[in-house]
A and B are shown apart, each in its own frame.
Chain A
Amino acid sequence: MNKKCSLISLRLETDLVKKIEEASRLEDIEKSVIYRQAIKKGLKEILKELAIKLYVEEELTISGAANLSDMYIGDFMELLAKRGIKNEIPDEYMIMADKNAEKLFKNISKLSSPKKKIKLNNDL
């Protein structure tokens, strides 16, 4: 199915246009196809870098950053790991998490019997 398209006009460096023409000739495909492919690939990279930047700056959560870059969260985490970007959870939160974990594993009765009856479903 053809996707809805919009017509745009923009100025490009002459060298870039020449490269596109060369690629079009060598691949024997229309120049417009090369332009579209180049924009798609470039945009993917731009969004990936933007997502990393916004995640590091804490503008986005991991889920938001993965969505922006159109990546699976697991892949986005791997990308962050490859770039050496740490999960900077403050020490105080990790101490709190340690205490919460002890409570979670200790107070079995409380957690097995929440105050309200929980109706679960798998309607998806």
Chain B
Amino acid sequence: MRLVISDASTLILLTKSELIIPLLSKFKIIIPKEVYLEILKGKEKGKQDAYQIDVFVKQNKIQIKQPKEKTVNLIKELCVLDIGELYAIALAKDLNLSILIDDKKGISTCNSFNIYFLTALQILKLLYINKYINKTKALDSLANLKKNGRYKENEINKIYTFLKGDYYE
């Protein structure tokens, strides 16, 4: 099973766009406790996506692991980040794994620390290319990501054009 780190926003986006299940069939997602607590806040407010993520945590499909405080402090010294992204990025650095992240500041920090980053859009595209989801599902998920992910039009259009192409029919 492949491993990947995630922050809360991308985890929520993947869940809302129904990409989380195909992703978890191939990847184990690791999150720090701080990200989990952000998800639990949604559960307290009765959010369906938060409940679903918590089920995956209980099933061990999403696992919790803490970064070294030394790594957290190193990133904190150089970049101003909030707690969820800070701990998720520190964990990716510690474990030398890619991170799923959609926050611009977070992405910029990943770039500074040479950490591989992906957004939910890349996950959609790669799940489709690797035939983990079909075209109909990919288009549905894209419509959801367009609404909730707030990506720029050109990024959505690129994927849309790609999905509409015949090559991967």
* Contact flags A104-118 to B (C-beta < 8 A → 1, else 0): 110010011011101
In the complex, B2 has a CB within 8 A of chain A: yes
Interface size range on B against A: 35 or more
Contact partner of A93 among B2, B64, B111, B154, CB < 8 A? Answer: B111
Tell whether, in the assembled complex, residue B103 and residue A81 are in contact, meaning their CB atoms are under 8 Å apart. Answer: no
Number of interface residues of A (CB under 8 A): 49
Tell whether, in the assembled complex, residue A77 and residue B105 are in contact, meaning their CB atoms are under 8 Å apart. Answer: no
How many A-B Cβ pairs are below 8 Å? 161
In the complex, A1 has a CB within 8 A of chain B: no
Tell whether, in the assembled complex, residue B12 and residue A73 are in contact, meaning their CB atoms are under 8 Å apart. Answer: yes
Q: How far is the CB of B87 from chain A (nearest CB, A)?
A: 10
Tell whether, in the assembled complex, residue B103 and residue A63 are in contact, meaning their CB atoms are under 8 Å apart. Answer: yes
24 example contacts (A-B, Cβ-Cβ < 8 A) are as follows: A58-B104, A59-B80, A61-B81, A61-B85, A61-B106, A65-B82, A66-B38, A67-B82, A72-B45, A73-B9, A73-B42, A89-B107, A100-B98, A100-B117, A100-B122, A101-B122, A101-B123, A104-B118, A114-B3, A118-B65, A120-B65, A121-B63, A121-B65, A124-B33
Residues of chain B whose beta carbon lies under 8 Å from any beta carbon of chain A: 1-4, 7-9, 12-13, 16, 30, 33, 36, 38, 41-42, 45, 47, 49-50, 57, 60, 63-65, 80-85, 95-98, 102-108, 111, 116-119, 121-123, 125-126, 129-130, 147-152, 154-155
